[in-house]
Chain A
Amino acid sequence: MFGYTGKILHVNLTDHTLEVEEPSEQFYRDYVGGSLMGLYYLWKHTPQGVDAFDPRNTLALMTSAATGLPISGQSRCTAVCKSPTTQGVADSQAGGYWPAELKFAGFDGVVVHGASDTPVYLTIIEGDAKLHAADHLWGKTTLEVDKILQEELGDKKIEIAQIGPAGEKMARFGAIMNMSNRAWGRTGTGAVMGSKKLKAIVVRGTTKVQPADKKRLQTISRMGGKELKPSGMAAFGKYGTAGVVLPQQGDGGLPSYNWDTGVMSLEDAEMISGERLYDEILGGAADGKQKNKGRDTCFACTVRCKRVVDSEWQGNKLIPEYGGPEYETIATFGSYCGISDLHAVTYANQLCNEYGVDTISCGATISWAMECYENGVITKEETGGVELNYGNAEAMIEMLKMTLNREGFGDVLAEGSAAAADRLGKGHEYLLTIKGQELPAHMPQVKRSLGVIYAVNPFGADHQSSEHDPAYEEPYYEGTPEWTGYKRFLNQIGLDKPMHSYDLDEEKINYALTTQYTYSMADTMSVCQFVYGASWQLFGPQSMADLHSAATGWEMSVDEMQAAGRKRLNLMRAYNAREGLTRDNDTLPKKLFKKALAGGKSDGMVLDRAEFEHGLDMYYAQAGWSADTGTPTRATLEDCDLGWVADDLGL
C-alpha cells in the first residue's frame, strides 16, 4: 500500500501489553483513516453503555494516507472515544508535527484499551513501542513534561501528545495537547486519557511516507502555492483565525455577554481583534518582524496560521511555546465574558494549554457563571469571594485557575456548565449547551443552517462540521471580476443555488448536509479544514479527492469522497443511537429561542422554534434518518456499506 504504514498499534493499559495489527488493504479502502477508522475501533472494542471513564472505553488516535506527505494541511490526527461531556461519540482533531511523526515512526494509528493502575507513558520510536512509568510526570504541566521527556529520552526532535493536570483530574473538558499548544480540544478526550492514567504518547521516526504518485502530489502542491494570495489564505495566515473577530462583529455574530448580544462596542471588539494581536502581542511586533517571529506552522504547511506571542499580562510572561489564542478562545474568554483585555485573554489561553483543557468549553463555562453571578443566581459566598462580573479580567483569570486546579467553586466549573448547573440545582436558564457541551462562537441567529447542524451533529455543537451560511450568499458565492467567489468549490459538490444566511429551506438544508459530508471527509482524510474545504479554503473538494488518489493510488472521485464523509457521519450517529441518544437530544439552548439579541446588525433577532423544528425534519429526511428517533434507517446504513451496524442495532 502507498500512503499508509499498514500498521495500527494496540495498547492494553490494564495488563501493559502491546500488539501490532496489520489490517487488510480492504479495511483501509473501506474505512480510509482518521475519524472513520477510529469510529470502527470504538464500535468494535467499547461495550455498549459503559461510562466514558470506564476502563473499557476505547481511545483511538488515527491519521490517514496523506498524513506526513510534503503538502500543506495534511498533518492532522483524530482522537475518538466515548465522550464524558456528550455521553455519545467524542471526536476531535489536532495538527502540529505529532501526526506526521507518528507515521514516520511506523504507525497509522494507536488504539488504547483498558486503564493502568499507575501513571504511564508510551513511546513509539522507529517502529518500536514501549510503556514506561510516568509517576515523575504526573501533576506536571505540558511544557514541563515536554522538557523532562526531551531530556530523559535524549532527543529534542520527539513529538509528544499528552494530558495536563486538568486531564489527570478528569476535568470533563480536558484536552490532549501536542507541542503544548495544539489541542484535541473538544468532547473531553483528555479526560478519558486521564482516566486511563496515560500521561503521554511520544513519537519519533525517520521513515518517510511514500505516495503512489509523487508528480500528481507536486502538481496539487504547486497549485496551492499559486493560490495562496488570490484565495485570501495568505491573509488568513497573517492574522490567523483571530482575524475573524471583527468580521463577526460586523455581521452581528460575535457572541458577547454570554450570548445576550452579537456585538461588543466597536472599540472593545477592536481591542480583542486579530489585527491587534498581530500589531501588539505577536513575537516580533516591536520591530515589525511578526512574519518570522510571530507565526508558527504544522508539518509542511505554507499557510502558517498559528500564533507565537511575546508579551506579558500583569507581570505574568506570555510564553511563546504556549502559542496565541485562536478566534474561538478570544471569543469565549473575551466577548462571551465581556472582556476586552487581549493580554488577559492570551494569558487565559496559556493557562488552558499549560493545564490541557478545551478553551471553548472552559471559557464558555466561566461566561455562564458570570451571567449567573450578574443575576444573583450565584453569590460571592459561593465563588469564594471572586466577583464574577462581566468585563472583570482579573476575576476571569482567578476563576480559571481555580477551575484548572479544581479548587473551591472551580471544582464545580471543571464539570462544565451543564453538569455544574445540575450540581448546583440552578442557572439552567443561562446554559448554552447541546448534548452537555458548550456552543462554539458562531451564532445560529445569523447563520440559520448552522443552528440545525449544531443540533444534529453527533458530538455536540460544532463550527467545523459544515460550511457556514454566508459562503452561500450571492455576492460571496458569485465573486467579482477582481476576486474569486466561493462557487468554484461549491459547484464541485453540486451546490449552485445561493441564498441569504437567514433563509432555511430545502436547498439550504441540502447545502448544510452536502458540505457536512465534505467536512466529514476532511476529518476522515485527516486534513486541515482551514486548508481543504468547500468554499473559502486553499483547496476545494476536487483537490481533496486528488490528494487521496495521489497518496494511495486508488482513484477517488468527488462523489466517492462525499460518500465516505457520509459514511462517517452515519456511523457516528448510529453509535449515539446505540448509546441511547435520540432526536430529543437534537435541540438548541432555550435561551436562543427566548431572548432577542440586543444591538448591532443582529439586533432583535431570536430563533423561531417552528422554523427550527421544520429545519430538523427537512434534515432528517434528506439524511435518511428516522424523523422520530433521529437514527439512520437500515436502508441508509446499507447504502453506506454499514449493514453490519444496522444488524448490531437490530434495525
Chain B
Amino acid sequence: MLTHERADRRDRVNRSLKKSFMKVNIRLYGLLRDVLPAEKKGRDLLDLAEGSTVQDALCLVGIRRPVITAVNELHEATLDHVLQDGDQMVVFIQAAGG
C-alpha cells in the first residue's frame, strides 16, 4: 500500500472513531486513585464508545471492587447507567467506619 493510501485510511478510521467515541471525566478517590498514574491524582479524561455504561468505565480503568458511583448531579448512578459525552463521573469506595 502506498504511503498516502495508508494515511488516508488512518484518517478515515480516526474520523470514524471520533464520531463513535465520547469523552467522560472521571474522578477516583482514596485507594482507587492508585489505578491511575500518581501525577493524575485520580483524575482522567476517558475515551469511551457511545452507549458505554458506568460499568464499562470502571472496567476501562481497572476497578473491580464494589464502589459508589455518581454522575453529574445524579447522586447515585447504577452500574448500567448509560454515560453521555462530557459527563463527570465520580467513584467512591464505601467506608464502613473510621
The residues of A with any CB-CB pair to B shorter than 8 Å are 232, 234-236, 238-239, 241, 243-244, 246-252, 263, 266, 273-275, 279, 288, 327, 442, 463-464, 467-468, 470-471, 473, 475-476, 479-483, 486, 529-530, 533, 535-536, 600-601, 603
Contact = CB atoms under 8 A, between A and B. Distances in A.
Given A274-B30, A275-B30, A464 B75 contact: no
A244 B64 contact: no
A467 B96 contact: yes
Given A251-B92, A470-B95, A480 B30 contact: no
Contacts of A248: 95
Of B29, B30, B66, B98, the most chain A CB neighbours within 10 A belong to B98
Interface in B40-98: 41-42, 64-66, 68, 70, 75-76, 90, 92-98
Contacts of B92: 246-247, 249-251
28 contacts: A234-B31, A239-B30, A243-B29, A243-B31, A244-B98, A246-B30, A247-B94, A249-B92, A263-B75, A275-B33, A288-B38, A464-B97, A467-B96, A468-B96, A468-B97, A470-B94, A471-B96, A473-B94, A475-B66, A476-B94, A479-B66, A480-B65, A482-B64, A483-B66, A529-B97, A530-B98, A533-B97, A536-B97
B34 interface: yes
Contact of B95 (A247, A266, A479, A529): A247
A619 B78 CA distance: 34
Contacts of B90: 250, 266
Looking at chain B, what size class is its interface with the partner chain?
Answer: 20 to 34
A224 B28 CA distance: 27
Contacts of A601: 68, 70, 75-76
A480 to B, nearest CB: 6
Contacts of B95: 243-244, 247-248, 251, 470
A72 B93 CA distance: 24
A11 B29 CA distance: 49
Given A247-B92, A480-B65, 18 more contacts: A234-B31, A243-B95, A246-B29, A247-B93, A247-B95, A251-B94, A275-B30, A275-B33, A288-B38, A464-B97, A467-B97, A468-B96, A470-B96, A471-B97, A476-B96, A482-B65, A529-B97, A601-B76
A235 B93 CA distance: 12
| Chain B interface, >50% SS class | loop
B30 A279 contact: no
Contacts, number: 92
Contacts of B75: 252, 263, 600-601, 603
B98 A327 contact: yes
A162 B92 CA distance: 39
A137 to B, nearest CB: 34
B8 to A, nearest CB: 43
Contacts of B41: 275, 279
A444 to B, nearest CB: 14
Contacts of A243: 29-31, 95, 98
Interface centre among A239, A275, A482 (most CB of B within 10 A): A275
A473 B96 CA distance: 10
A247 B29 contact: yes
B98 A275 contact: no
B77 to A, nearest CB: 11
A233 to B, nearest CB: 10
Contacts of B70: 250, 601
A486 B96 contact: yes
A353 B30 CA distance: 26
B66 A247 contact: no
Contact of B68 (A251, A275, A486): A251
A468 B64 CA distance: 23
B75 to A, nearest CB: 4
B68 A250 contact: yes
A600 B94 CA distance: 15
Contacts of B68: 247, 250-251, 601
